[in-house]
Amino acid sequence: MARRGKKKGRPISGWIVLDKPVKYGSTDAVSKVKWLFQAQKAGHAGTLDPLASGMLPIALGEATKTVPFVMEGAKVYRFTVAWGEERTTDDLEGPVVKTSDKRPSVEEIEAVLPKYTGLVMQVPPQFSAVKIGGERAYDLAREGEEVEIAAREVEIGRLELIKAEPDRAEFEIDCGKGTYVRSLARDIGRDLGCYGHIAELRRTEVYPFEPAQMVSLETLIEAEEAAEDENARFEAIDPYVMDTAAALGGLPEIQLSDDAAHRIRMGNPVIVRGRDAPVEAPEAWASARGKLIAIGLVEAGMFKPKRVFAEG
């Protein structure tokens, strides 16, 4: 029986809240960060298009187990819509397919915004990662196929006009998982009778992370290049890694004794103790000595682990 090979890289775990630059794809950004930290594994929570910049939370090591909790988090975007043209990709990348000489007034723009808040039915862009018959929509679109993508429900908490110029307007939006800002620009442009596409897009927040926690790729590279040797290299960039539990800000924390933590690591439930401890919770996380031990649920005063985290 063949023995499992040793994993390549460092067993580093935690989150890098990257300020992704324009022209970098999300996968490219993850690969670069993984290489910089020599991490054994890495993944991201929420794709950003190459033409978009801003917050891209990247999970290293054991933090990849917490990616779904960040994916579900609310997001904030600042974006600019250019009026007068609709494009195949709903952004600057694709060719123009419709044009209009009309330009909307501030009053006209503000009048349509309530239509796009709350629970909204939205059709994703033709160039998107949505699967159609097992294939990605953008692959079919690149082959020249025009596919029908079903509308889906998304939640938009706030949509605000920040600045308006004759040929463009700047907005800010708070939205939930699955919202396509490119679709929003397309649909608003159609409603206003002037057409529109995304000219600039920046994601400023992904809950539970905050803008002040972002670090640029340039900062990481400069810190790494300034190091004198391999050990100094990691000493320079590791402080930018946030604790794995930072992704779980919206969940109750169950603090455990060392003995209870050992039982959890063996896959056993434990009694939840403490005056403020929840009796019931569909999702919670357990810690011991300030370290994340497991994610699970609290049922009838018992914490039951679902995902256990490696020590270290």
Annotated active-site positions, please? Answer: 49
- Answer yes or no: are the C-beta atoms of 73 and 206 closer than 8 Å: yes
Q: Within a 10 A sphere around the Cβ of 47, how many other Cβ atoms?
A: 12
Give the Cα separation of 260 and 257 in Å (integer): 5
Pairing of strands 253-255, 291-299: unpaired
User: Which uninterrupted H or E stretch holds 285?
Assistant: strand 281-288
Q: Which of 135, 272, 113 is nearest to 185 (CA)?
A: 113
**From CA 212, how far away is CA 108, in angstroms rounded?**
35
Which secondary-structure segment (H or E) carries 92? Answer: none
3-state secondary structure (DSSP) of residue 186: helix
DSSP code for 275? T
